[in-house]
Amino acid sequence: MTTPTLKGTIQVPGDKSISHRAIIFGSIAEGQTTVSNFLRSNDCLATLQAFRQMGVHIKEDGNSLTIDGVGMLGLQESQEPLDMQNSGTSTRLMAGLLAGQHFDSHMVGDASLSKRPMGRVITPLSEMNGTLVATDGHLPMDIYGEVLHGIHYRLPIASAQVKSAIILAALTAQSDTTIEEPLPSRDHSETMLKLFSPESIDKEDGLITIHPDHPLKAQHVEVPADISSAAFFLVAGAIVPGSEITIERVGLNPTRDGIIRVLEQMGADLTIDRIDQPGEPMANLTIKAGPLKTFHIEEADIPALVDEVPILALLATAVDGVSTISGAAELRVKESDRLAAIASELGKLGASIEEKPDGLIITGGKPLTVQDEQVDSFGDHRIAMTLKVASLLLDKEITIKDEDCMAVSYPTFSTDLNTLIRK
Ligand code: S3P
C-alpha cells in the first residue's frame, strides 16, 4: 500500500454542542427560532426527537430547522420514554431542564450511555430541590418535576454538561443561581442564553449568575462547523506527508480551540483566516504537512480540547520524541474509556503509548505498522475516526469494529475523507 496525500477544501458539519443547545433554547423560547447548518447526527437527532415528544413542533429542511418555541413552561409530558441513545449532552442538559417542569420524565439510553455517571448532575439538581432517581447513578433515570430554588454551586469538575444542566434548571427556579467553575469549560450555553435572553445571565469574576423569570425570545442561530470534527482533518493534514487541506467556517470559540494552540506550539504549518461576523467566532483553517515538535498537555489545557485527546494522541505518534497528556481522567467516562481505548488500539498499530491513570505518555517518531488488523472503536465515534485517520498511514488494511458509530457526530466522515485522498 502506498501512503496517499490529502489535498483540497472541505466543509465539516455543524457543531454538535451548539446544535443541541439551539434545539433546547429554541424550544423553550417564545416565537419561531431558525437554525442553519444544524448537525444532523444521531446525538443531535436524539435531542430533536425528545423535544418533539414533549410537544414542540420542529420542521427540518436539510440542515435548517424551524422551531416553534413553546415558552419556558410550555413543554408537555412525553407519553414514551425519552431515548437519549448515545448522547451524554442530551441526557445531562435535559435532566437540568426537566427537573423544574410541571411533569415527570423517564430517560433511557444505549449500553454505553447507561454506564456513564449521572451523579454529577443529580447532586446539584437535588440541592435545588430536584428529584432525580437513577439506577445506581446511571440511566435509566426518572425525573420528577419539582419547584426548584436557586443555589450557589462550585463544580467539582470542569464540565460544560454539568454547568449547562444547572443553567437550564436555574431558568425554571424561584431564585437566582450562581455557578463557579474550577476551569473554564465550553461556554456555548452562556452565549446562547445571552442571545435569547440577555437579562437572564451575568458573568463576572468567573461567576455565572442566572436570573430566572425572564422570557427567552426566538432567534436565528447559525451553527459554525465543529472544531472537534475539523480536528481529524487538521491532524490528518499535519501528518500525512505532502498534504494541504483547507477547512471552512470552523468554530473557534476560545473555550474549544485548544487543538489550535497545541498545533501552533508544535510548529505546525497552520493558517487561520478569521471571518469577521457577530456570534460564535469562526475561521477558515489551512493545514500543511511538515515537521512538528512534541507537546505536553496538562489538566488546565484539557477542557478546551477534551474531545480531541484521541486524535492528538495519534498526532503524537508521528512526532519524534515523547509527548505527554495528563489531568485527563475525565476521558475514562466518555463514550468509551478513551485512555484505555487509545492505548490498546493504537498499540495494535505499533504505537508506543503508556497508559497512566489520568493520561498518556506517547513516544513517537517510528512509522506505524499493523500488528493486529482488527481494531475496535468500542462503539465510540471519536475512537473510530481516529483509527480511520491512522489507517491512512498504514502498510496494510485494517478493519475497525463498529465503524458506523461515527454517525453519532459525523455521519459522512469516511466519504468526506475520501474526497481529499490523492493516490
Ligand atoms: C459537551 C461537553 C463535554 C464534551 C461533550 C460535549 C457539551 O463534556 O466532552 O462532547 O456539549 O456540553 P463534559 O462537559 O462532560 O466534559
Encode burial over 198-207: b for 16+ CB neighbours within 10 A, e otherwise: eebbeeeeee
What does 151-210 look like in DSSP terms, one character per residue?
Answer: -EEE-SS--HHHHHHHHHHHHTSSS-EEEE-SS----HHHHHHHHH-GGGEEEETTEEEE
> How many Å apart are CA 185 and CA 145, to the nearest integer?
28
Encode burial over 91-101: b for 16+ CB neighbours within 10 A, e otherwise: bbbbbbbbbbb
Kindly report the CA angle at 20 between 400 and 405, in degrees rounded to 5?
Answer: 10
Give mean pLDDT, residues 264-273. 98
C-alpha cell at 362: 506517547
Give mean pLDDT, residues 135-145. 98
CA of 193 to the centre of ligand 1 (A): 17
Does residue 161 line the site of ligand 1, with CB under 6 A?
yes
Which atom of ligand 1 has the smallest separation from the CA of 163?
A: 14
| pLDDT per residue as tens digits for the range 206-221 | 899 999 999 999 999 9
Share of the chain above pLDDT 90, in %: 97
Give mean pLDDT, residues 150-170. 98
Confidence check: pLDDT of 36 > 90: yes
Domains defined for the chain, CATH in brackets: 16-222 (3.65.10.10), 224-422 (3.65.10.10)
CA proximity to 330, closest of 84, 46, 88, 85: 88
Query: Cβ distance 140 to 110 under 8 Å?
Result: no
Instruction: Return the number of other C-beta atoms located less than 10 Å from residue 184's C-beta.
Output: 15
Rounded to two decimals, what is the model's pTM? 0.98
pLDDT band at 365 (very low <50, low <70, confident <90, very high): very high
CA proximity to 70, closest of 38, 43, 97, 89: 97
Binding site residue list for phosphoenolpyruvate: 16, 88, 116, 161, 338, 382
State residue 401 phi and psi, 5-degree precision. -65, 135
Site to substitute for ligand 1 among 24, 155, 159, most atoms within 8 A of C-beta? 159
365: left (phi over 0), alpha (psi -120 to 50) or beta: left
| pLDDT per residue as tens digits for the range 303-357 | 999 999 999 999 999 999 999 999 999 999 999 999 999 999 999 999 999 999 9
State residue 228 phi and psi, 5-degree precision. -70, -25
**Bond prior to 411 in cis (omega within 30° of 0):** no
| pLDDT per residue as tens digits for the range 177-197 | 999 999 999 999 999 999 999
CA of 421 to the centre of ligand 1 (A): 31
CA of 156 to the centre of ligand 1 (A): 15
Does the active-site annotation cover 83? no
| pLDDT per residue as tens digits for the range 85-116 | 999 999 999 999 999 999 999 999 999 999 99
Query: Cβ distance 285 to 258 under 8 Å?
Result: no
- Arithmetic mean of pLDDT over the chain: 97
CA proximity to 1, closest of 396, 328, 274: 396
Which atom of ligand 1 has the smallest separation from the CA of 16?
A: 11
> How many Å apart are CA 21 and CA 255, to the nearest integer?
16
Radius of gyration of the chain (CA): 21
Query: To 10 degrees, the CA torsion angle through 249, 250, 251, 252?
Result: -110
State residue 210 phi and psi, 5-degree precision. -110, 125
Does residue 159 line the site of ligand 1, with CB under 6 A?
yes
Q: Are strands 244-251 and 399-401 parallel, antiparallel or unpaired?
A: unpaired
Does residue 164 line the site of ligand 1, with CB under 6 A?
yes
Does residue 67 line the site of ligand 1, with CB under 6 A?
no
SS3 236: helix
Confidence check: pLDDT of 2 > 80: no
State residue 422 phi and psi, 5-degree precision. -120, 120
SS3 96: helix
What does 293-311 look like in DSSP terms, one character per residue?
Answer: ---EE-GGGGGGGGGGHHH
C-alpha cell at 186: 465550553
CA of 277 to the centre of ligand 1 (A): 25
CA of 14 to the centre of ligand 1 (A): 15
Does residue 17 line the site of ligand 1, with CB under 6 A?
yes
Does residue 306 line the site of ligand 1, with CB under 6 A?
yes
| pLDDT per residue as tens digits for the range 390-400 | 999 998 999 99
Hey, which residues does 256 pair with through a beta bridge?
A: none
Does residue 185 line the site of ligand 1, with CB under 6 A?
yes
Of 307, 337, 376, 380, which residue is the catalytic one? Answer: 307
